[in-house]
């Protein structure tokens, strides 16, 4: 097959959507190298794309300053390259794609802008909704990154369930590699981290809900909490609360952590807590399970899918419930070991090979 991808995120975004794009493309190259893969982008990458050798893909470059090239002008490039399948990797497809004869696939990561509109400016919500709704209506197949996202697409866009396939995403391989003790000591010294700590990773913003963990600290003696992520305005609210309740010395908010340090910090943590109000899937939980630490997530979205039946889930608005679960785990070493062992078994379903096999099956269904 000759498959084209919207590669803007793969080339220029080094967080969530970019990671997903690179995950999909690099693993297709690894496990299905006989296909031809064309990456549509407005510019070549300034540095080599990790795990995507430039000689193994074809770049279709359109040098332009027009902000809507991916929505309109890209169609001519797609036609010139004789693409059989075009895959929009981040919630959108070109608006005139139905006028072509090629098959189209779109990945929908989440509809949080509909579920929690207060977290998005009005103009962003409008644009996100227009693009995602159109893509869902015209795509030959929709890929949802979780069963939760699939339910949201059915509910909000009235898409028939058979049109939607759930294909999960795994995490970077570095989280699966065991870190040496000397690396842990060196990294803890680098960031001035305690020997035992609770950990959360993700942007420090309201939706991620780390204030819940800080509130729970009042009911959890001694242990520290480390939050890693880009600080939004919400971070000041968290810091203010910690100061007002004499918790500042137990709160560590760290930004701009190099990617190579994240697996070391993850494997050094006592447990991972992800109390997000809503997610499309929850890759940090996958990373934590591979890192061999117990996981506590939140109810209400998709985190049970990511964490499996042996992780713990709490009401994202109830700090007393969270504090109780943390205190129980800190006392029960056997339960922590069981959670780690079962978590490692569960997370194998998100292996690179399994996720790529499911993706190829979606492509094949387009011609059956």
Q: Radius of gyration over alpha carbons of the chain, in Å?
A: 21
pLDDT of residue 32: 93
| Residue 63 pLDDT greater than 70, yes or no | no
Q: What is the DSSP string of 14-62?
A: -SHHHHHHHHHHHHHHHH-TTSEEEEEESS--SSPPTT--GGGSEEEE-
pLDDT of residue 112: 96
What is the distance between the alpha carbons of residues 110 and 91, in angstroms, rounded to a whole number? 8
Angstrom CA distances, 87 to 38, 91, 97, 108, stand at 10, 10, 11, 11
Query: What confidence tens digit (pLDDT) does each residue in 87-137 have?
Result: 999 999 998 898 888 999 999 999 999 999 999 999 999 999 999 999 999
pLDDT of 73 strictly over 70: no
Per-residue pLDDT band for 7 (boundaries 50, 70, 90) equals confident
Distance from C-alpha of 214 to C-alpha of 198, rounded to nearest angstrom:
10
Q: What is the pLDDT of residues 165-211, one digit of tens each?
A: 999 999 989 999 999 999 999 999 999 999 999 999 999 999 999 99
| pLDDT for res 64 | 55
- Separation between Cα atoms, residue 207 and residue 360, nearest integer Å: 33
Asked whether the predicted pLDDT for residue 67 surpasses 70, the reply is no
């Amino acid at each position: 097959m000759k498959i084209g991808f919207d590669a803007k995120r793969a080339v220029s975004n080094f967080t969530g959507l970019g990671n997903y794009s690179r995950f999909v493309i690099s693993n297709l190259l690894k496990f299905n190298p006989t296909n031809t893969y064309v990456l549509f982008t407005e510019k070549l990458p300034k540095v080599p794309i990790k795990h995507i050798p430039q000689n193994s893909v074809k770049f279709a470059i359109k040098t332009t300053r027009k902000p809507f090239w991916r929505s309109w002008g890209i169609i001519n490039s797609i036609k010139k390259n004789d693409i059989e399948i075009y895959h929009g990797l981040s919630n959108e497809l070109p608006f005139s794609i139905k006028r072509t004869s090629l098959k189209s696939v779109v990945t929908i990561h989440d509809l949080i802008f509909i579920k929690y509109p207060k977290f998005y400016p009005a103009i962003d919500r409008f644009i996100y909704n227009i693009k995602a709704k159109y893509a869902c209506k015209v795509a030959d197949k929709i890929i949802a990154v979780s069963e939760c996202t699939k339910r949201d697409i059915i509910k909000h866009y009235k898409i028939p369930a058979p049109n939607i396939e759930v294909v999960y995403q795994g995490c970077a391989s570095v989280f699966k590699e065991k870190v040496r003790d000397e690396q842990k000591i060196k990294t803890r010294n680098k960031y001035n981290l305690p020997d035992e700590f609770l950990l959360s990773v993700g942007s420090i913003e309201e939706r991620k809900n780390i204030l819940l963990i800080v509130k729970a600290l009042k009911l959890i003696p001694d242990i520290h909490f480390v939050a890693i992520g880009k600080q939004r305005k919400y971070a000041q609210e968290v810091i203010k609360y910690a100061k007002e309740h004499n918790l500042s010395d137990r709160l560590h908010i760290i930004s701009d952590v190099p990617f190579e340090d994240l697996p070391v910090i993850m494997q050094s943590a006592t447990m991972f807590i992800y109390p997000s109000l809503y997610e499309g899937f929850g890759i940090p939980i996958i990373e934590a399970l591979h890192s061999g630490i117990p996981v506590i997530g939140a109810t209400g979205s998709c985190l049970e899918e990511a964490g499996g039946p042996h992780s713990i889930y709490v009401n994202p608005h109830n700090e007393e419930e969270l504090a109780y679960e943390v205190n129980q785990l800190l006392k029960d070493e056997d339960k922590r070991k069981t959670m780690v062992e079962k978590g490692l078994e569960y997370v194998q379903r998100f292996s690179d090979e399994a996720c790529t096999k499911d993706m190829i099956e979606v492509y094949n269904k387009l011609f059956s």
